[in-house]
Structure 1
């Protein structure tokens, strides 16, 4: 599914025709019948872990809603028969005008058997250090007012402690019309990346119009077809045949619930997102796991999970369809805990696999988390820490990009790191 938008139409004897825009580029006129009209798309299934301290917001199951003209509707405007579901199974009905849909929500009663216990003795950690805090202090060469945010034309190499990261892909500023043109938050795809995952040739990143939003878009790039490091920045100006090829190898999800969007993983057929609330520090709330089909970039299934008592997860990654690794860190505990969650049917069984003493970085939050080849990688601004599966400290990589890290992913012996301003995917061997 590409990102499609229209802002202009004409009425004829044969009906209304709309001038459509694909991935930010005007491509031509189509009949209004081309659009899905009076349609609500929702997740096929929702399975909740029983938790009286958390009510699942039922609108989180919405993929998209369209009115009689085929215009996307804000999910908050959809009527639902139940706003929240917590401890009792329910069938929730959704409606907007003539559009209707329903979802069966099941509740798992075995919370105690799914939640884990803290059992691991923390390993010796790294010497605590500091970095810059807040948003990026620098940018890529052309991502600034002086260069008018023009496309990058030369690649980067960042090296530290045996790890060398090289540019694989500079991403478009928008996969839609830009500021003030897209119409609303649902229509603007970009400009803020938060997380990413790589599986095979599929690179997926989460994109937001505001860093305070809990909804956003996922963009999938087929790196097997997109060979150039630079061309994807120029979707609106490249020649038509090249654009068609690129548009066929870039997919964009609807405007869906992603939470903070930093905790992603993927398998051959699905993208997984731990759609957590990064403003919620710690406590008994459940967390949502979204399974999203790569075929049409829509939510297929939702689970809620709990890792352990008083363990709310802000960072996680997924390995295949049945395994999730989660990072827990709370300054009050002065350690990092590594949890493995294994799915059996709808149950997600949590087990602590390791822990590390210390804070690593004292003045900046975690910006990415990955697992590969029995190593965990924890990213901060300009810093990445590598630890063994049991939590033993291994390597500290320091950079000087002055750009935020916006997600990590590891597969086999490759580490992928995404930098902000301009969004840039890099790769290196560890």
Structure 2
């Protein structure tokens, strides 16, 4: 709920260093505040940021929005002045200062440029899955569910094209949703002979049973100060980056559902030094944020945890090398991959049992973290995929497992135009774990698959031959894996910790 009150903005004009600004004109000005912080969406132009604001306008320019355009921007209040509205913004959870409302993307709907569906009578596409963000006249992000569309769903039963129109107030957008004309694309048959597997091991089920040293109530979830090293069977995983608990305002700071970024990671990808992870505020949601860290610039393993308390100059550098996507449809968010320009997400429904539905692949621009294109694919009516990874722009590897088949299957999907052509490349007999613990990470590199369960990683050749089993004792969930060059990257939960080891 929004409310208004009068106050002297000198007291609120706090520098990023925490020092109250001096010499400010003590003009009182009417301010409007929000009981929950609202999410703001950056526009394309750069604007000055100020320490202070009065009824005459802003003063005390000290930095520019160019450092913060791809961060998570939030605000709890704004003021109307003779020079327009100015918002008091937070970026990645840290208080920054006052910026003109003209900085924000106002009355806009951002959607994917194109949507291409595999022909499948058992599936209809939800057009709202293509939304990046929607803003009102003040540049505040609006719940996508409030957007009007002229088609609530688009059937993929018949080939053809449908134009979907979106509207919210003055904001409008459209996208063409095309159903591809190939009946064979979604009906593949796998005939790879399964290779002998591993002896099944017991992996605990459910959430993490342990945590990093300080990720607990006894230590008040404070930052970690030293890294870890986990070794087994020739693989040593060392801490590369402890991530912030929140890349936004947190629980006690009343962020809206689109605003909170954290605390639960689900999947990761690393390519060219850019590490991207999906971050959920609610693990049962199918919408979340992607957060990318430029590891070429963020060298410290521990500093990123302290975005709100690090020095101003360090924060400005870090904020310039951390990007947060809008609140978008990511499905389970565990199946990620990336190329030099794009991030790829297989946005599956992890609660859907094996069945005939299609699945979405999102292509997301690294430059601005927005959905560029959406495809759907289906391997076969009895092969719904829960785990996948991407190698470059045109190749996806998928893992299929169902206890009734008593094997794991490995599928390679190659993109030709908009079609994703599937072939089974291998299979492994039996089960890797004995108690039904789900796969927590799936990666491909140098001709091998890496399959992660809680505290267990299995190395399997592309044809399904069992190679190595790595057993750790972290008691923490694995939340995604990725291969880049000679390095295997593994994400652990509680606290979110990226580790890497040579393979």
**What is the rounded CA distance, in whole Å, between the counterparts of 1:303 and 1:113 in structure 2?**
13
Q: Match for residue 52 of structure 2?
A: none
Given the alignment, which residue of 87, 96, 101 partners 1:18? 87
**Deviation readout 1:378-420 (Å, 9 max, x if unpaired):** 0000000110110011111000000000000012221100000
Q: Match for residue 212 of structure 1?
A: 284
46-55 or 294-303: bigger deviation: 46-55
Asked whether 1:51 is paired with 2:120, we answer yes
Q: Counterpart of 1:94 in 2: which secondary structure? A: strand
**What is the rounded CA distance, in whole Å, between the counterparts of 2:393 and 2:420 in structure 1?**
12
**Deviation readout 1:31-61 (Å, 9 max, x if unpaired):** 1111111100000000001111111110000
Asked whether 1:297 is paired with 2:297, we answer no
Given the alignment, which residue of 180, 184, 207 partners 2:256? 184
**Deviation readout 1:1-43 (Å, 9 max, x if unpaired):** 1111111112222222110011110110011111111100000
Q: Match for residue 6 of structure 1?
A: 75
Given the alignment, which residue of 346, 349, 374 partners 1:277? 349
Q: Match for residue 502 of structure 2?
A: 429
The 8 Å contact of residues 120 and 186 in structure 2, kept in 1 or not, is answered as no
Q: Counterpart of 2:405 in 1: which secondary structure? A: coil
CA-atom RMSD, angstroms?
0.9
Asked whether 1:405 is paired with 2:474, we answer no
Count, aligned residues: 430
Higher relative contact order (CA 8 A, sep 6+): 1
Q: Offset at 1:426?
A: 0.2
In structure 2, the gaps of 5 or more residues are 1-69
Q: Match for residue 457 of structure 2?
A: 384
The 8 Å contact of residues 123 and 392 in structure 1, kept in 2 or not, is answered as yes
The 8 Å contact of residues 410 and 464 in structure 2, kept in 1 or not, is answered as yes
Given the alignment, which residue of 348, 353, 358 partners 2:430? 358
Q: Offset at 1:113?
A: 3.8
Given the alignment, which residue of 368, 372, 380 partners 2:441? 368
The structure having more radius of gyration, on CA atoms, is 2
Q: Match for residue 62 of structure 1?
A: 131
Q: Counterpart of 1:76 in 2: which secondary structure? A: helix
Q: Match for residue 211 of structure 2?
A: 139
**What is the rounded CA distance, in whole Å, between the counterparts of 2:340 and 2:291 in structure 1?**
16
Q: Counterpart of 2:278 in 1: which secondary structure? A: strand
Q: Counterpart of 1:132 in 2: which secondary structure? A: coil
137-146 or 123-132: bigger deviation: 123-132
Q: Match for residue 420 of structure 1?
A: 493
**What is the rounded CA distance, in whole Å, between the counterparts of 2:423 and 2:252 in structure 1?**
47
In structure 1, the gaps of 5 or more residues are none
Q: Offset at 1:115?
A: 4.1
Given the alignment, which residue of 7, 17, 29 partners 2:98? 29
Alpha-carbon distance change, 63 to 201 in structure 1, aligned in 2, over 3 angstroms: same
Q: Match for residue 169 of structure 2?
A: 97
Q: How does 1:213-232 map to 2 (within 5 A)?
A: 213-232=285-304
Q: Counterpart of 1:324 in 2: which secondary structure? A: strand
Q: Match for residue 155 of structure 2?
A: 86
409-418 or 314-323: bigger deviation: 409-418
The 8 Å contact of residues 119 and 186 in structure 2, kept in 1 or not, is answered as no
Q: Match for residue 197 of structure 2?
A: 125
**What is the rounded CA distance, in whole Å, between the counterparts of 2:254 and 2:483 in structure 1?**
34
Asked whether 1:307 is paired with 2:379, we answer yes
Q: Match for residue 251 of structure 1?
A: 323
The 8 Å contact of residues 186 and 381 in structure 2, kept in 1 or not, is answered as no
384-393 or 354-363: bigger deviation: 354-363
Where has structure 1 moved over 3 Å in runs of 4 or more? none
Asked whether 1:73 is paired with 2:145, we answer no
Q: Offset at 1:114?
A: 5.4
**What is the rounded CA distance, in whole Å, between the counterparts of 2:349 and 2:445 in structure 1?**
25
The 8 Å contact of residues 185 and 378 in structure 2, kept in 1 or not, is answered as no
Q: Counterpart of 1:95 in 2: which secondary structure? A: strand
Q: Offset at 1:251?
A: 0.4
The 8 Å contact of residues 291 and 299 in structure 1, kept in 2 or not, is answered as yes
**What is the rounded CA distance, in whole Å, between the counterparts of 1:326 and 1:368 in structure 2?**
12
Q: Offset at 1:117?
A: 1.5
Q: Counterpart of 2:404 in 1: which secondary structure? A: coil
**What is the rounded CA distance, in whole Å, between the counterparts of 1:339 and 1:299 in structure 2?**
25
Q: Offset at 1:182?
A: 4.5
